[in-house]
Amino acid sequence: MPRGCPTRPLRRSQRPAATDPPARPPAGDPGQLLRQRPHPHVNGGLHGQCYDNSLDPEIRVIAMLELGSPLEMIQLLQTPWEERFKICLSLVKLLFYLAHSPLGSIVLLDFQPRQFVMVDGNLKVTDMDDASTEELSCKEDNDCTLDFPGKSFILKCTAAGKCDGLNEKKNLFNAYRYFFTYLLPHTAPSALRPLLGDILNATGDLRYGINETLGAFEKVLHLYKSGLYLQKRLPLLKEYITLKGFRTMEMQDYKCWPSYSHLGCLLSIYNAEEAAAICNSQPQCQSFIVTQQRTWTGEMILFY
């Protein structure tokens, strides 16, 4: 914030009074729509404004926007699967909103990882200026071709002379090729891999629309949060002795990948029985410590 900002107190963006009629979405401007009706996965909401009288008249009003970290795919590949799944789920929820917005289906014209940031562990799109609600006109199906590097799709031409779901399908395939293929399958729980494979195949072939994709993601989330993804195995926890009152150290006996910490082996588990099974599968593991921390799905964090 510039030194002269306190010349006038910070003011938050104006909200309509309770007696005012609800504002209509601006016609044809997706960016303005999301500024008026912010979505939890769209960055750029106005937090406030400062007025600095010492600056040039054209730049005296300074907007304060939400700060996010650039999306680094290499770093994300080193994070636990649960966090990568959260990013993909956030993206799917955003695309669901864009497909059903008050203005109609919105397409992100410059769909690239650089257009997204991480804010408190959540994925958000930063720039809605390169968005459009324009639907491609057509006379026949061949007019509705979606071209991507190495792959093309022909969609249906509706009786209204518009390409059916073109904006939605374009967003979805870009999500598949830039996010799903890298973040979804690697180190996923083995019982969930067939479902994740179905999602990858169906979005990669555009057999799924955004509604089916969101439903498939929510099914995976339910199985994960409920522990139904755990495979039946012989009880192993009885082989361990419970000792209470121990504190965790930052540096543990060994490291594993992917881990919530680069200093040791810090993983999320559904219950202590799963923790014992993981420890038994790793020759260097002799014990584990259950912490009070929880992930966004409610899973326990523990040190090995």
Helix (H, G, I), strand (E, B) or coil at 51: strand
The count of other CB atoms within 10 Å of the CB of residue 131 is 23
Amino acid at 55: L
169-180: burial string, b at 16+ Cβ within 10 Å, e else: bbbbbbbbbbbb
Residue 110 bears catalytic tag: yes
- Asked if 172 contacts 209 with a C-beta cutoff of 8 angstroms, the reply is yes
Q: Which residues contact 281 (CB under 8 A, 6 or more apart)?
A: none
Helix (H, G, I), strand (E, B) or coil at 212: helix
Give the DSSP letter string of 139-203: SSGGG-EEEETTEEEEPPBPTTSBBTTHHHHHHHHHHIIIIIHHHSSTT--GGGHHHHHHHHHHH
Report the chain's C-alpha Rg in angstroms: 24
- Asked if 122 contacts 84 with a C-beta cutoff of 8 angstroms, the reply is no
- Asked if 36 contacts 56 with a C-beta cutoff of 8 angstroms, the reply is no
The count of other CB atoms within 10 Å of the CB of residue 104 is 14
Q: Which member of 110, 141, 205, 253 is catalytic?
A: 110
Active site residues: 110
